[in-house]
Amino acid sequence: MKKITLLLIYSLYVFAAKAETGYDLWLRYKPVENKILLQSYRKSITTIITKGSSETMKIANDELMNGLSGLLQIKINNSTAVNRDGSVIAGTPGSSTLISQAGIDGLLQKTGEEGYIIVTKIINGKKCILISGNSDKAVLYGSFHFLRLLQTEQSVQHLNILSVPRIQHRMLNHWDNLNRTVERGYAGFSIWNWHTLPGYIDQRYIDYARANASIGINGTVLTNVNADATVLTKPYLEKVKALADVFRPYGIKVYLTARFSAPMELGRLKTADPLNAEVQNWWKEKVKEIYSYIPDFGGFLVKANSEGQPGPQDYHRTHADGANMLADAVAPFKGIVIWRAFVYSNENPVDRHKQAYDDFVPLDGKFRTNVMVQVKNGAIDFMPREPFHPLFGAMPKTPLMMEFQVTQEYLGQGTNLVFLAPLFKETLESDTYYKGKGSTVAKVIDGSLDDHQLTGMAGVANIGNDINWCGHPFAQANWYALGRLAWDHDLSSRQIADEWLRMSFTNNPAFLQSAAKIMLESRDIVVQYSNPIGLHHIMSTGHHYGPAPWVSNLNRSEWNPVYYHKADSIGIGFNRTGTGSNALAQYKPEARKQWENMNTCEEKNLLWFHHVPWNFSMKSGRNLWDELCYQYYTGAERVKQMQTDWNALKPLVDKQRFEQVRQLLDIQHQEAIWWRNACLLYFQTFSKMPIPAQYEKPDKTLEYYKSLRFPFAPGN
C-alpha cells in the first residue's frame, strides 16, 4: 500500500512538472520549499483581515487568500477581528479602524497615493502584519509585495517596509494592430480580440491585469504607434471601454495612440493642421466622446512625422504645436499626451543620431504642462547596446519619459535568451553631467533633477497570445524587469533576476546560482556575437532578423546597414566626432570625454563614435580586425556555454520548460554562428585580413549568407 501511495505521489509530481506551461508567469504560488521557513510562515499567518468594499480591495483579499493558501498549503481564514496571533491586516486608514489606530500615520504620510507599508505591529496584544496605504490600489500593490516575500523565501518576522514608486506613469506600449498582428511581436497574435469585444471578456485580460499590478505597472497603450484612426470610432471605443473596466480595479489606466490625420480620415476635414480651429474642435469633441466611455482614460501616445506617419510638420508646424493641441483637448479631463521623440527624415542629410535632438531641444519649455516627450534609451533605435540618448539632460523644462523595448526586435527576437535588465540599468545609470556629476538618466526621468511632477517609463510590450505570454520562457523576465525598475530604478539586475527565478522556477540555491549567471551574462553575449565594439543596426532590413551588413540598396539611406558601419579599405565605424557628423557635440563635455578620443574611448562604443583603422591597436593587444574576430567567436562560444549550463539544470526544472529553453538555446547557438560567419566574411572583404588560425573557418560562403531570405519572419 505504501509503495502504491508513493507511486501515486510521484506520478502526480511528474504530471505537474509536465504541466508547467508558463501561463502563470511569476504568480505561480507553489508550496514554499524551505521546511523551516514554511513552519515559521504558518505560525505568522493564519488569518486575513481585509477592510474595504471596493472591487480593488476584493481583488487584494482574493490574491492574499489564493496566494497564501497555495504557498503555505493550509487553510487561510478570513476574519473581521484580531483573535489570534498571525493575522494579516490589509486596508487603508479610511476603511479599517485597526489600521487607523495602529500608529502608522507618520509612515503613511510618506507613501503618496500608490506607495505602501508592510509592518509588524502588536494589536490587541496580538502580533500582526499590516499592509496599508492611502488608497486601495496601494494596498493591492502591498499585497503583491508581501506575497513576493514568501515566494522568494524571506523572513516575515519583523517587517518594516515602506515602498514608494519612483516613477508616476509606469506603462506598457503595445504595438498591436486592430487585425491582431503585432509589429515586432514574437509571441503570437495580439491578446486583444477586437472581434469578440465588448461582449466577451477573455480570462487572459484579467490575468494580464493581475500580472501588471503585481509589478506596479499602471498604464497600458493598447494600440500600435503606427496608428489606425479606426480605434477612435464609436464601435471600437465601446471595445476599449470593456478593457478599461477590467483593468480599472487593478490600478491600470488605458491609453490609445492617436493618428494625427484622424480629423481628415474620420471627420472628413480638409486638413489636420493643429492651428486650425476646426481641427482643434474636432479633437476636443472626440476627446469628450472618449471620456464619456472611459472616465479615467489616460490620454494619447503619438508618433508623428516619423517613418511615414502624418504629423504637424506636414503643415509647417512644430511638434509642440501638435502635442499642445491634443494636450488642450485632454486637459479638462486630467489626461496627458505622450509625444514620441523618435523622429528622423530621409530628406534630412544630417546623421540620424542627431535629428531628434535638433528637432526637440529648441522646443524645450514650449510644451503644455500635461505633455511628456517620450525618448528611446538611445538615439538610433533600441540597439543591443547604445550610448544614452543626448536628449536626456538637454530639455530641463520638459518632462522626458523613458522608452525601452521589452520585445527583442534587435536582440534575437523570439529565439534568443536575453535578459534586458542590464541594458535598462546601463542606460539609467549613465551620467548626463548636465547638472554636474551624478546627473544620471534615472534622475532625469524620475523628475528629481528638475522637480518635474509628471514622470514616466514605458516599455514596448513583448506580450502575445502564446500560452506562456512572451514566446521564449525567459522573455517573461523582461516584462517583469520593466515593471520593477519603473517602480524602483535602484534595484540591481541581480536582485531582479533572483526574484524572477525564485518566483518562476524554484528557490533551490543550485538552480539560482547557475540560472542567474546565464541571465546576467546573456545580453553581453548577444552584443558580442552580433554587434560588438559599437557596431549597430547591421541587422537584415524590414524584419530585422539576422545579419545583413551588406544591404545598401534601400531608397532611404538611413535604413541601409552600410550607413551605420561605413566599412572600407581603411577601417570601420561611424565617425561622430568633430571631424565627422559631430553628434558628440550634443552631449555635455564631461559625458563626451569618455568617447571623443579614439585612443581612450570605451571600447564597447568605439565603432559607434569612430571610424577605426583595421590595424588599430586595442587594449587587448590585438589589432581591430583580430579583436572583431575574437569578439564574434567568443560570443558564439559563450552561447555554447549557456547550453551546457542549462543542460546541467535539467533535474531542477520542470520537463516542459526545460525542453523549450534547451531547443531555443540550440537555435540561438546556430544563429550566433550565423552572425559570426556572415559578418566576418563580409567585413573581411574590406580588411583583406585573415581570420586568425586558431578559429574554425566559416563553412559557408558570403554569397550563401547574402542569399538567405525570410519572407514570413514574425513581427513585421
What's the length of the chain? Answer: 716
Grid look-up 490609445 returns 256
C-alpha cell at 574: 561611424
Helix (H) or strand (E) holding 16: helix 2-18
β-strands 47-50, 77-78 pairing: parallel
Grid look-up 481585509 returns 50
C-alpha cell at 545: 532578423
Angle CA(283)–CA(284)–CA(285) in degrees, nearest 5?
90
Angle CA(429)–CA(369)–CA(265) in degrees, nearest 5?
105
| Residues with catalytic roles | 307, 381, 409
- Read off the amino acid at residue 159: L
**Closest to 409 (Cα-Cα) out of 554, 605, 550, 543:** 543
In angstroms, rounded to a whole number, what is the distance separating the alpha carbons of residues 562 and 615?
A: 21
- Read off the amino acid at residue 421: A
Provide the CA 173 distance to its chain's centre, in angstroms. 9
Q: Report whether 457 contacts 449 (CB < 8 A).
A: no
In angstroms, rounded to a whole number, what is the distance separating the alpha carbons of residues 260 and 81?
A: 56
Give the chain's largest Cα–Cα span. Answer: 84
In angstroms, rounded to a whole number, what is the distance separating the alpha carbons of residues 193 and 409?
A: 23
Give the count of beta carbons closer than 10 Å to the beta carbon of residue 653.
22
Strands of 92-151, DSSP E: 116-123, 126-133
**Closest to 660 (Cα-Cα) out of 471, 404, 459, 464:** 471
Q: What share of the chain is helix, strand, coil (3-state, %, to 5)?
A: 45, 10, 45
Give the count of beta carbons closer than 10 Å to the beta carbon of residue 613.
16
Three-class SS state of 247: helix
In angstroms, rounded to a whole number, what is the distance separating the alpha carbons of residues 463 and 188?
A: 8
In angstroms, rounded to a whole number, what is the distance separating the alpha carbons of residues 397 and 449?
A: 11
Cα atoms in the 13 Å half-sphere on the side-chain side of 606: 21
- Read off the amino acid at residue 331: A
Provide the CA 331 distance to its chain's centre, in angstroms. 28
Three-class SS state of 402: strand
Q: Let me know if 361 is exposed, middle or buried by CB neighbors in 10 A (0-12, 13-18, 19+).
A: middle
Three-class SS state of 37: helix
Residue 265: partners with Cβ closer than 8 Å, 6 or more residues away = 229, 259
Burial letters for 619-650: b for 16+ Cβ neighbours within 10 Å, e otherwise? eeebbbbbbbbbbbbebbbbbeebbeebeebe
What is the secondary structure of 303-325 as a DSSP string?
--SSTT---GGGGT--HHHHHHH
Distances (CA, A) of 525 to 296, 385, 564, 630, 636: 43, 11, 21, 13, 8
C-alpha cell at 604: 564597447
In angstroms, rounded to a whole number, what is the distance separating the alpha carbons of residues 479 and 278?
A: 41
In angstroms, rounded to a whole number, what is the distance separating the alpha carbons of residues 112 and 545?
A: 44
